[in-house]
Amino acid sequence: MSAPLSLRTTGIGAWAPGAPDWQHLRVILRGESAPADDATARPAGTVLPAAERRRAPDGVRLAADVAAQATAMAGIDPATVPCIFASTHGELGITDYVCETLARAPLELSPTKFHNSVLNAPAGYWTIATGCTAASSAVTAHHHSFAAGLLEAAVFACAEDTPVLFASCDVASAGPLAEMTRTTLAFGAAFLLVPDESAGATIRLALGDAVHEPFVDTGLALPGVAGDNPANAHALALLRRLAAETTARLRLPISSELSLDMEITP
């Protein structure tokens, strides 16, 4: 196996129903506060220009919110930072709309909703809003989306020696598709990752042997977020360890033979 990838997380962003930013979620994950019961909350998408915000679906607003938090906390100008947006299912509400419209009246399909349906809509809106001309990507790996996306971001950062913004977001399912996709609550997390070979690294990642037992992270708040979407559960597990500010390990399934092994040092 190769040497671990060493990174510093200089910025973190998060959004969950009842925890609209990392500051809120952090104290919840530390057990110092209970989540507000606010399942109807929508991400604000404040970083998007007003015209774009009106057109932007929830997944785009969610991604923009967590990405903006992470870059602001890191004090970095997003214009030159490559960004990678992961999602298990993409914009589920739009997929439901597109499929329902196509079944009923295909010529009535909205052009705006069609271009919002691409998995890289969050990357597109984000790069437009922030003037980011660096590489941007949209990735998915079903239940491994968080771990595989994080690996992709870490590899990009270390291979190209550049800070990378990584965000992982899923929105709630809608319509008949919901039975297949089972995501009941929107959740997003973002990390500004800087390659760092020094002792200051906060995350060291490597590929290890597969995890064969089901992933369980005891003590997680927000069961509604974690329970039905493994990528969200994996993101929360990493966030909980970063919030705890103690040395920790985390092992996430990433393929039938591999896990993503992380050493977290606050």
Partner 1 sequence: MHRVPERIEPLAVTAYSATSALGRGLAAHLEALRDARGGLVINDFSSAPLECRIGRVAGIEETALPATLAHRDCRNNRLAWIGLQQDGLLDATAAAVARHGAARVALMLGTSTASIGSTEDAYRRLTGGRFPADLQRPEIHTPHSLTAFVAEATGIAGPALTISTACSSSAKVFASAERLIRLGLADAALVGGVDTLCDSVLFGFHSLELVSPRGCRPFDVQRDGISIGEAAAFALLERATEASRAPRLLGHGESSDAHHMSTPHPEGRGALSALDDALARAGLTAEAVDYISLHGTATFKNDEVEAKVLPRFPVRTRASSTKGFTGHTLGAAGALEAVVALLAIEHGVVPPNLGCDEPMPEAAPWLVLQPAEQRIDVALSNSFGFGGNNACLVFGRGEPA
Give the interface with partner 1 as residue ranges (CB under 8 A).
2-3, 5, 79-80, 82, 88-90, 95, 98-100, 102-103, 106-107, 109-111, 114-121, 123-125, 127-128, 130-142, 144-145, 148-149, 151-152, 155-156, 158-160, 162, 176-177, 179-182, 207, 254-258
The crossing angle, in degrees rounded to 10, of helices 121-130 and 58-74 is: 50
CB of 229 to partner 1, least distance (A): 11
What is the distance between the alpha carbons of residues 27 and 32, in angstroms, rounded to a whole number? 5
What is the distance between the alpha carbons of residues 243 and 20, in angstroms, rounded to a whole number? 16
Complex with partner 1: residue 114 or 266, whichever CB lies closer = 114
CB of 167 to partner 1, least distance (A): 14
Pairing of strands 5-15, 83-86: unpaired
- Indicate the Cα dihedral angle 63, 69, 74, 75, nearest 10°: 110
What residues pair up with 169 in beta bridges, in sequence order? Answer: 188
Complex with partner 1: residue 22 or 191, whichever CB lies closer = 191
User: Any idea what DSSP says for residue 191?
Assistant: E
CB of 238 to partner 1, least distance (A): 17
Complex with partner 1: residue 33 or 184, whichever CB lies closer = 184
Task: Answer for the pair 14, 34: CB distance below 8 angstroms, yes or no.
Answer: no
CB of 201 to partner 1, least distance (A): 16
Q: Which two tokens stand for residue 254?
A: 């990433």
Task: Answer for the pair 57, 124: CB distance below 8 angstroms, yes or no.
Answer: no
Length of the chain: 266
CB of 202 to partner 1, least distance (A): 19
Q: Which two tokens stand for residue 176?
A: 């008949």
CB of 102 to partner 1, least distance (A): 4
Complex with partner 1: residue 34 or 128, whichever CB lies closer = 128
Q: Which two tokens stand for residue 166?
A: 């990584």
Complex with partner 1: residue 52 or 217, whichever CB lies closer = 52
Complex with partner 1: residue 24 or 55, whichever CB lies closer = 55
Q: How far is CA 10 from the centre of its chain?
A: 16
